[in-house]
Amino acid sequence: MATAPRYSLRERKFARTRLNLAEIVTHHLENAPLDALSVKALCERAQISEATFFNYFPKKDDLVAYLDKLWSLELNWYGRQAAEQQQGLAVIEALFRYTAIQVQKKPGLMGEIIAYEARDRTHAPRPVITPVERVLAFADLPGIVELEDESLELVLRAALQQAIERAELPANTLLPSAMVGLVSIFYGVPLAVMHNNPASIGPMYRQQLAILWAGLRAVAGD
């Protein structure tokens, strides 16, 4: 039986502080945008000094990048679980179902992540999620500590390639075009409907994915 790794007090303190800041921001985003939360107010809620905050995050926007990374890691884990039970398009559809549930729970967070992605023209590196942060943030997700740090795009691309190999999509399907469609649906549907009717995200995802699959088949046939 493998022995659970022991983390130092410093590692645990670092992880707890970052995760606490992330939780405070997540709660804030359900009622107001990030711009409405000053670093001073954030630090008062977290009971740390502003100097301490900047030891963890060089700027306030980096907290959104951190939340984005945590969220992507969780999605990656869920995608891997789906891939163990399903293949091809079913994996993609499972990921979108899970995303719809998460966006319904935290629409403010998704909105801020989309805004951050739109502003990030230089594709700045996302913060690294340490093993102890993974343990503390996702105690109920077995194997997440060892999970490879892959982007959502890589998970989707692998599932698309498998769908082509399984003949769910035509052999001459253009992966770059299919990926543009998937990413557009993934971010575009929540952006369009989450503030007016979050419950419609799941059905809209299903509808838009069905249209994408039909379109890819039709284009490949032509």
Q: Examine the pLDDT at 1 and tell me if it is beyond 50.
A: no
Q: What is the DSSP string of 40-97?
A: HHHHHHHT--HHHHHHH-SSTHHHHHHHHHHHHHHHHHHHHHHHHH--THHHHHHHHH
Q: Which residues contact 36 (CB under 8 A, 6 or more apart)?
A: 28
Q: Which residues contact 105 (CB under 8 A, 6 or more apart)?
A: none
| Mean pLDDT value across residues 41-61 | 93
Q: Examine the pLDDT at 79 and tell me if it is beyond 90.
A: no
CA distance 118 to 140: 31
Q: What is the pTM of this model?
A: 0.85
Express each pLDDT in 162-192 by its tens digit. Answer: 999 999 999 999 999 999 999 999 989 988 8
| Mean pLDDT value across residues 51-62 | 91
Does residue 137 or residue 115 have the better pLDDT?
A: 137
CATH class of 61-221: mainly alpha
Q: Examine the pLDDT at 102 and tell me if it is beyond 50.
A: yes
Q: Which residues contact 54 (CB under 8 A, 6 or more apart)?
A: none
Closest CA to 48 of 90, 93, 14: 14
pLDDT at 222: 59
21 close to 56: Cβ distance less than 8 angstroms? yes
Average pLDDT, the chain: 88
